[in-house]
């Protein structure tokens, strides 16, 4: 009898340890979370890489796990939505310990965690691609991108006009900020351009432009989550992270089949950092954003086949590690730093929401329907074009993580940054002509 009771107790204990938050067993997660909380309460949480990673991963694991379990929410990008907006709400209502906020801000902003993450994803995903698929993807993605941009402008202005926002306001203050490529690369230069043309302070325009970009990013995240769900139900519509249908392209010896090599991952880390540094260096001499140069240089290296095969494998394995373990942590930083909750709430009116939704859905629908005529997988094509309506690099991470298609990061970065830069320039020209 005693043996049966003991066996039952051990079974219950094993079940408890089998419950996981992210990769951690629940009991261990609770212990680690308590340590982080105690360190922040007693002023022992350093505002650096150590403190930042600890806080962001503990919060990100929990929110990501909840987002993947809640019905309906899990199908519309729940992990990304919760990882961004819950920290934003906690900061707004002062519910997050100041020491934790300081650690997150220091690591995310001062240490440039976002661009480290993007450099690892871009270099690893490009070098890990089949060369023919890479070349065809870059060449074909511009058609749905251009068509989507035009469709978004038409749909957004039409809905904005019908709901009372007006064509002028809908175009310049809702549609354009959504398509501008993020806060730093799009909203800020756009606000400066508007201020010079209309002779007003840039600060006034920042507050008007940011909510549209944030809500557009949210709709793009939800759409990516739905597309992910659609891909499960209708597998013929998706390449599971591959943009172009391979046809007779030889996909043998794919990197997914190779054993993990930690030494090669170290080499991949150096390669990723140096691709980013090369972009920064080249930007000093040519007027092209550093991330774009980083992407193009990695694509050129892959196309020419000049990187040793083992180094490509190392970069790819690093990319897989970073994407799997640091995505939700990064999105927590995005929520704390770049998502002011009060500005999101202030923009929520039926007319505004309808205009934003029409803009984003027109962009994504264009990619979905145009992509199939260009021998692209509709779901992947839709996600890539959808990134054009996101919050720059942070938006790309959130959208692709919601869609579970992080392999598309190089294409998403091109869509976001190159597409955003073109939109900002054209908007400034049009406003000057009209004004």
Nearest by Cα to 111 from 57, 46, 54, 49: 49
Find the range with the poorest average confidence among 43-57, 106-120, 175-189, 245-259.
245-259
Residues linked to residue 21 through DSSP beta bridges, in sequence order: 24
What percent of the chain has a predicted confidence (pLDDT) above 90?
Answer: 39
Find the range with the poorest average confidence among 173-182, 252-261, 381-390.
252-261
> What's the pLDDT score for residue 183?
67
pLDDT at 11 exceeding the cut of 70: no
pLDDT at 87 exceeding the cut of 80: yes
Question: Mind listing the pLDDT tens digit for each residue in 313-342?
Answer: 999 999 889 888 888 898 898 888 877 888
Average model confidence (pLDDT) for the chain? 85
Per DSSP, helices labelled H in 244-391 are 262-283, 290-304, 309-338, 341-346, 350-371, 378-386
The most confident of the ranges 79-83, 135-139, 263-267, 296-300 is 263-267
Buried-exposed string 320-355: b where 16+ CB fall within 10 A, e elsewhere: bbbbeebbbbbbbbbbbbbbbbebbeebeeebbebb
> What's the pLDDT score for residue 250?
45
E strand or H helix that includes residue 349: none
pLDDT at 9 exceeding the cut of 70: no
Average pLDDT over residues 210-239: 90
> What's the pLDDT score for residue 256?
65
pLDDT band, residue 131 (cuts 50/70/90): confident
> What's the pLDDT score for residue 184?
57
What percent of the chain has a predicted confidence (pLDDT) above 70?
Answer: 91
> What's the pLDDT score for residue 430?
87
pLDDT at 3 exceeding the cut of 80: no
Separation of alpha carbons 393 and 258, rounded Å: 29
Find the range with the poorest average confidence among 102-111, 260-269, 415-424.
415-424
Sign of CA dihedral 14, 18, 19, 22: positive
pLDDT band, residue 254 (cuts 50/70/90): low
Find the range with the poorest average confidence among 86-100, 237-251, 402-416.
237-251
> What's the pLDDT score for residue 207?
64
Sign of CA dihedral 333, 215, 428, 362: positive
> What's the pLDDT score for residue 255?
65
pLDDT band, residue 252 (cuts 50/70/90): very low
Contact by Cβ (8 Å): 132, 299: no
> What's the pLDDT score for residue 212?
86
Separation of alpha carbons 22 and 66, rounded Å: 9
pLDDT at 363 exceeding the cut of 60: yes
Separation of alpha carbons 168 and 336, rounded Å: 32
pLDDT at 206 exceeding the cut of 70: no
């Amino acid at each position: 009898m005693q043996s049966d009771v003991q066996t039952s107790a051990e079974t219950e204990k094993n079940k408890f340890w089998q419950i996981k938050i992210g990769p951690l067993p629940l009991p261990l997660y609770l212990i680690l979370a308590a340590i982080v909380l105690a360190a922040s309460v007693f002023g022992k949480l350093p505002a650096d890489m150590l403190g930042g990673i600890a806080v962001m991963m503990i919060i990100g694991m929990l929110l990501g796990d909840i987002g993947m379990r809640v019905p309906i929410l899990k199908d519309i990008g729940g992990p990304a939505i919760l990882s961004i907006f819950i920290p934003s709400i906690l900061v707004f209502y002062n519910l997050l310990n100041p020491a934790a906020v300081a650690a997150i801000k220091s690591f995310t902003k001062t240490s440039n965690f976002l661009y480290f993450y993007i450099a690892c994803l871009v270099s690893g995903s490009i070098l890990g691609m089949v060369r023919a698929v890479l070349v065809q993807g870059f060449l074909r993605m511009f058609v749905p991108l251009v068509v989507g941009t035009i469709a978004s402008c038409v749909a957004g202005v039409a809905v904005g006009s019908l709901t009372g926002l007006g064509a002028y306001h809908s175009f310049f203050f809702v549609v354009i900020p959504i398509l501008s490529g993020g806060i730093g690369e799009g909203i800020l230069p756009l606000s400066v351009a508007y201020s010079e043309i209309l002779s007003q302070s840039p600060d006034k325009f920042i507050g008007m432009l940011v909510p549209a970009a944030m809500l557009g990013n949210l709709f793009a995240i939800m759409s990516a989550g739905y597309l992910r769900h659609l891909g499960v139900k209708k597998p013929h519509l998706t390449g599971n992270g591959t943009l172009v249908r391979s046809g007779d392209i030889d996909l043998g010896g794919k990197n997914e089949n190779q054993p993990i090599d930690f030494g090669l991952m170290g080499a991949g880390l150096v390669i990723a950092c140096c691709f980013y540094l090369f972009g920064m260096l080249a930007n000093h001499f040519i007027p092209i954003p550093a991330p774009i140069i980083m992407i193009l240089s990695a694509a050129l290296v892959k196309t020419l086949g000049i990187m040793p095969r083992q180094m490509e494998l190392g970069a790819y394995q690093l990319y897989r590690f970073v994407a799997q373990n640091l995505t939700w942590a990064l999105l927590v930083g995005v929520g704390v730093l770049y998502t002011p909750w009060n500005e999101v709430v202030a923009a929520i009116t039926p007319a505004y929401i309808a205009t934003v939704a029409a803009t984003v859905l027109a962009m994504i629908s264009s990619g979905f329907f145009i992509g199939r005529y260009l021998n692209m997988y509709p779901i992947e094509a839709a996600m890539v074009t959808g990134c054009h309506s996101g919050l720059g690099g942070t938006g790309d991470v959130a959208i692709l993580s919601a869609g579970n298609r992080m392999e598309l990061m190089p294409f998403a970065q091109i869509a976001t940054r190159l597409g955003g830069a073109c939109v900002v320039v054209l908007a400034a020209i049009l406003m000057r002509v009209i004004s």
